[in-house]
Amino acid sequence: MIPLAPFGRTGHDSTRAIFGAAAFSDVTQDDADGAMELLLQSGVNHIDTAASYGDSELRLGPWMERHRDDFFLATKTGERTFQPAYDQIRRSLERLRVDHVDLIQLHNLVEPDEWETALGPGGALEAAVRAREEGLVRFIGVTGHGLTVAAMHARALERFAFDSVLLQYNYPMMHNPAYAADFEALVAVCRERGVAVQTIKSITRAPWGDRPHTAATWYEPLRDPVAIDRAVWWVLGRPGVFLNTVGDIEVLPLVLDAASRFRERPSDAEMKEIAARQAMEPLFA
């Protein structure tokens, strides 16, 4: 079974592999049903979706009607001002067929101007706080990706007591010295304040570049089971972080299987070997 850990200060013990429901952006309900059965069999108890993930919330809706109590449910709003964000939160509840979500996240909040708008007067953060006061959401987080995301999240934590952060973390990315330093500084603050740290892009092989897209991810994922094992175990080998699964339901079983068999972090020599063999590259450079 996939190990559990406290999800920050929320009081919930989440599976360290969180289902990244971007994988449901463009699938049939039958395909989503099969993936949800796999999640239940694997013991996954935390789902992360977003209003902007295509049909994801709609695909989750029938399952949330029957299994709401089995999952810590998170979604995201990409709106930056109060009314559009508040309205989007309400629409997400309708699409998910629930009366509340456990976590609402300000989605991809990285650009300085959008950051100032969302966290300023009349911004999306005020909508999230109102939704929390009304019982529509329980906790508030922030997400993002790119080279500056860790520093921006640290800045956001100085502005507001977010309950969670989400950002990329994988073996190639942490070989960027500036990003690694920002990531470590952020994690230190999160550990001190009880903020949950969610990570994404664990099984990134490389940017697609000019290669044909053969997966429903905006990066080229690892496909080799041994490489996926090592990449997943490398992330889970860091205590206190959560791994959000892959955005492709065909690759999902391999990630869940790797997470269920996690015992210890691969050595640096093992990671160097697999990175060279798979030609792994940072997603952001």
CATH of the domain at 166: 3.20.20.100
State yes or no: pLDDT of 209 exceeds 90: no
Paired residues of 200 in beta bridges: 168
CA gap 110, 258 in Å, rounded = 31
C-alpha distances out from residue 65 to 49, 99, 184, 220, 249, Å: 16, 10, 39, 34, 22
In a domain, 93, yes or no: yes
- Interacting residues of 254 by C-beta distance below 8 A, sequence separation 6+: 225, 228
Contact, 249 vs 35, CB < 8 A? Answer: yes
Q: How many domains does the chain have?
A: 1
State yes or no: pLDDT of 285 exceeds 90: no
User: Mean pLDDT throughout 22-43?
Assistant: 97
What is the per-residue burial (b if ≥16 Cβ within 10 Å, else e) of 25-37? bebeeeebeebbe
Nearest CA to 279 among 206, 215, 200? 206
Average pLDDT, the chain: 97
Tokens coding 35: 């993936």
CA gap 78, 93 in Å, rounded = 15
Q: What is the pLDDT of residue 169?
A: 98
User: Mean pLDDT throughout 31-53?
Assistant: 97
pTM above 0.95, yes or no: yes
Paired residues of 18 in beta bridges: 244
Q: What is the pLDDT of residue 31?
A: 97
Tell me how far apart the terminal alpha carbons of the chain are, to the nearest angstrom.
35
In a domain, 283, yes or no: no
Q: What is the pLDDT of residue 136?
A: 98
**pLDDT tens per residue, range 110-163:** 999 999 999 999 999 999 999 999 999 999 999 999 999 999 999 999 999 999
In a domain, 285, yes or no: no
CA gap 99, 194 in Å, rounded = 26
In a domain, 284, yes or no: no
CA gap 122, 134 in Å, rounded = 17
**pLDDT tens per residue, range 210-224:** 888 888 888 889 999
Helical residues (DSSP H) of the chain, grouped into ranges:
29-42, 56-67, 82-96, 112-119, 124-133, 149-159, 177-193, 225-236, 252-260, 268-277
State yes or no: pLDDT of 35 exceeds 90: yes
Paired residues of 142 in beta bridges: 106, 165
Q: How many residues does the chain have?
A: 285
CA gap 160, 174 in Å, rounded = 27
Q: How far is CA 73 from the centre of its chain?
A: 12
In a domain, 201, yes or no: yes
C-alpha distances out from residue 227 to 69, 176, 192, 223, 272, Å: 34, 21, 33, 7, 11
Tokens coding 19: 């289902």
Residue 22's domain comprises 4-277
User: Mean pLDDT throughout 255-274?
Assistant: 97
**pLDDT tens per residue, range 5-28:** 999 999 999 999 999 999 999 999
Tokens coding 113: 């101007």
In a domain, 134, yes or no: yes
Instruction: Give me the percent of the chain exceeding a pLDDT of 70.
Output: 100
